[in-house]
Structure 1
């Protein structure tokens, strides 16, 4: 047993708890003001539930946008479920918090990034990522494979 305090894992647990708290508030009260989220997650992670066609289209990472249209946001201790619109097709998703790679709210310049080391033993934590892949912008927009959005475009 190691006698060291693993601050990296403790930080991740705290930051995932923050995400859970924010999503629980949104589930109960809706998105306030101009807040919206870009959430990137690993589609291969244990516990991720999504349609087969989405898993085939995004065999690694996928970024969802919670902004204009979403429903059935249910937050539990391990993750959250949500229904999003993909090309006018509502699709339910379940995303464990441990599958999340980035969580960004560009309206207030807040972001978290969870990075795994090569060995997969320990994760590193950093704040606002430089870019975010946006997949589900607006229900009326045509879908694209991946648009890279610089957070600088959201800065005031």
Structure 2
């Protein structure tokens, strides 16, 4: 009888260990699925932003439009080329700190926001690379990189 009790106890302990291992693997699988789902949701929420450079008489402006439906609480554009900069005065080259960074937000869907820009006359690229930092509801943040086509030299 004692031997039977011992065997039953050993079998029960093996089943308990197997059950604990199975439960642990299930929890790990659930965590992995939750991470994948969160990444998918974040990918769906990435804002769709259109950036263009407009040329006017002796001037340039960078225009940003939010194409997606969720508004952004902030949007900053950082120009990644030192021969293109934001400026308040046309057509002078700006000076001082942060001339490569401009605030464009908060942004509402479909609204175009423009900031004056300077393109060095001796520099004729076809496009300029920019980094766009966005912040949405609940503090979600995204960083996008865009190439903005530069139109031909504006007339003076």
- Give the TM-score normalised by structure 2: 0.29
- Higher share in helix: 2
- Give the TM-score normalised by structure 1: 0.29
Name which one, 1 or 2, has greater alpha-carbon Rg: 2
